[in-house]
Each structure stands twice: as structure tokens, then as C-alpha cells.
Structure 1
């Protein structure tokens, strides 16, 4: 997934320049006092600045070169971490509230443990996702 940020709102214009990166993550969904959210087990990114910044706050980000997603007409060529193939693109859609797609992509909190051991949460804010179903060929 292509990501910009995270960064404080005032720095967002700079974030779109310096904090744009590709990301692949493994997560679980949790409920906590602040609200529904995610805990990241592993997050692979293709740029050093997001990897270092997130690690300072105890997030499991690591730099991995080779995330490669190329749009080829109606297909996306995927070559990342040993996963190779073509994915057929479908028309984008906005998930219906209460659907599985909505549950998996809604804006949540992300919870983590800081390097000093304190558990904290950060609210994830972004425009609603425009999704596509992709089928590995």
C-alpha cells in the first residue's frame, strides 16, 4: 500500500514529500479503551525515514528494499519479498458501513508499546479508502 505520513497536521505538506513510501504490514485488530484499533506485528517500508521515525516510538517498522508495484493497463505487476505475479484490477469502490471491507479498512487507533514500556495509542485519520478487489492470476 502506498502511504504518506504519519506526521503532525502542520507538517503534512512536507510529509507528502519526505514521508511517502510503500508499506506492507501484518496486523491484528483489537478493542481498547480509546476505541477499536490495530496492533502491528511487522511493517515493511521502502524508505529509511519512516522506518527510523517509527522505530523511535516502538513501532515494528523496518526498511526492506524491493517493494515494487507497477500498473500495467488493467493489471498490477507485484514483485515484493518473494511474492511475484500479476493482479487483475477491478473498479474502485467505497465500502459499505458495517461490511467486512469497512471493518478491515476503517480508520482506527494504532496501539504500540514505547521503548520505555508504556502502551500508547495514536488515532489514524485519513480520507475513506477507495478499494479494489484484486485477484492473483
Structure 2
């Protein structure tokens, strides 16, 4: 990266859950400058819960009340000017301070949710409850990672090795570059007990997803970059 990073964070107990989804379902929610990325002709949606830890700006100590919190994001995969990255539909977190900081000016679609993360021996239970007026989105996941790392397939690399994210608050498309070492993926046993996320996408997410786990990843974020206008789409 040409510019110095501005924030670092550790991601712990990351679970990747992925479902195939139609391009037509995604289209209305993706900025027109972005191209929906496909793997062998198929679009994908991801739900990713994890623990965010040791959050701190460059040269500063961890910020009180945001050092450690839980996060749950709903995302899909896009490209812009040849770069493959991520577009987020929502990012839920149980730290109100982190949500307010990350969503200033509508920069990222962070939402404050009630969350629990319970660990008993090797099994974890993750619970998220988001309410906004008459609407709610809930997610309950039990999972147990298995020992040993995987030799990632091309598809697994395509789903997880993403080093750019885009967001479009108001009328400007912004890119944020992310830096970390390659994921060390593991198999994971899961039980989805409740999932009412992203119902606006009108596709069934009750089927068994592709699932992966990673225990730890240290990441760095770089200053947002305003992208120039581009008319190519899909």
C-alpha cells in the first residue's frame, strides 16, 4: 500500500457462511458503478459473524468501549476497475460507540444490535438481535471448529481473499483497502437456529451454506479513496 494505514483490528472466531444467490436479487441494492462478481457464473451472499478485538487508530492505544465487541455482517462480492472486493448490505455490532463512529455520514451501513457470544469448551453460540421500529432481524448460530487447516480451493479463495470494500454514502463511491495475511481456513460444524437477515433479498437462506472458520486474523485499514465515476455495470 502506498499510504500508511489508519486503523488496525484483530478478528477472532470468524465464521464464513455462504449461499448462492441470483444476480437479479442483488441488482437493486448494488451501486451502479460496481459489477457483481461471479464464480463460474454464480453470485454469492455471505453472512460473517466474528469477534472484533484490539481496535485502535494508528499510533494510539485501543479506544475504550470499542477495543472488543461482536460483529455480524451481510455481504456480497463485487468488482470495480478490475479489483475484486466486498459490498456490505449491513454490519451489525453490539458496541454503540463503534457503530456511531463507523456510520458517520452514512459511510458504512453499521447498525447497533444486541449480541451474545457464549463459549463452552470447543462449542460457541452466537446470538444477534436487531430491532428497528416494527422490523427485526435475528440470527442464532451454534458452531464447533474442527482441528487442522484446509488447503483452500479456488472457490474458497475467491470467497474469502478480498482486500477491498466499497461503499456509497450519498452520491460518491468510496473504496477502502484492507491488508492482512492469507486466511487459514478450517472446517466447522454449524447449527443455524434462527436466520431472518436480509429478507429484502427475497431468496431462501434456510438451506445449508458453505461454511468455514478461521481462529484469528490481524488486519489493517487504509484511508478511504473516492472512486471516479464509471458507467460500466453488470
Give the TM-score category using the shorter length: 0.7 to 0.9
From 55, 60, 64, give the equivalent of 2:109: 60
Hey, what's the Cα distance between the residues in 2 that align with 1:9 and 1:128? 22
CA contact (8 A) 1:5 1:19 kept: yes
**Bigger CA radius of gyration:** 2
Structure 2: segments with no counterpart, 5+ residues: 1-49, 130-137, 192-234
Partner of 1:89 in structure 2? Answer: 145
From 15, 18, 36, give the equivalent of 2:84: 36
Higher RCO by CA contacts (8 Å cutoff, separation 6 or greater): 2
Deviation track 1:23-72 (CA, whole Å, cap 9, x = no partner) reads: 1111110011261111100110110122111211521001101x222221
Residue 47 in structure 1 maps to residue 95 in structure 2: yes
From 4, 17, 20, give the equivalent of 2:68: 20
Following superposition of structure 1 onto structure 2, how do residues 70-109 of structure 1 map, counting pairs within 5 Å? 70-81=118-129, 82-84=138-140, 86-93=142-149, 96=152, 99-109=154-164
Residue 2 in structure 1 maps to residue 51 in structure 2: yes
More helix by share: 1
Hey, what's the Cα distance between the residues in 2 that align with 1:106 and 1:39? 14
SS of equivalent to 1:40: strand
More strand by share: 2
Aligned-residue CA RMSD (Å): 2.8
How many pairs were matched up? Answer: 133
Give me the TM-score of the superposition, normalised by structure 1: 0.77
Partner of 2:46 in structure 1? Answer: none
Structure 1 pair 6–75 and aligned structure 2 pair: CA distance change class (3 A): closer
Partner of 2:186 in structure 1? Answer: 132
Structure 1: segments with no counterpart, 5+ residues: none
From 105, 110, 119, give the equivalent of 2:165: 110
